[in-house]
Structure 1
Amino acid sequence: MIDIKNIQEYCKNDMLLFSNHALERIRQRGIKIKDIESCIMSGEIIEQYPDDFPFPSCLIFGACVSGKILHVVASDEGTASRIITAYFPSLDKFENDLKTRKGR
């Protein structure tokens, strides 16, 4: 299981890697790198994906610099964290707490 403290440590030490997919999505969604860092540093892991390949990943719930809720999917590669995607959660897919997926 991924520990948020590890991801936060990578963030503090400038050890976040961004997939091409993440860079494209955050550009499309108007999300800044500082928002991703803020989400990680203020965040908590709400879902774990231990079977993701090539590294386990997780869904982080946190806040942007502005305070708006953000979700970040990140892996723990042992020496760094790869940001896979980031998005603003919607009530279409999540309950009012924006942490719990609908239909679970």
Structure 2
Amino acid sequence: MTEREKGELTELIARTWSLIDYIDERLKSSTVNEKDKIRWASVLASAIGALDKLFCKAGIGKFDKDDMAILLSKIPKKFSQIVRRRIEKIGRPRNKSRKRF
């Protein structure tokens, strides 16, 4: 991996962390309604998945359960459960079609 690619990955990781922090603020905000908070929780799951992929690409490795617990402890329990379910759904391997020709 070239220095330029490492710099781009570092920048992407930093941006993803700032996105996660912003989403955390939105989930804790009293001005955001319940329906929108559920949507933000879904966006958080996507951001965590993207961060995990960036870490793998950078050679840092995947998130383990402890790292995930630290991330999810920042947000209200109700929404952390939504995020966990979404992350589990994203992490599952997709079933290939069983069509036979």
Q: Which TM bucket (shorter chain)?
A: under 0.3
Structure with greater helix percent: 2
TM-score by length of 1: 0.25
Q: Which has the larger radius of gyration?
A: 2
Structure with greater strand percent: 1
TM-score by length of 2: 0.25
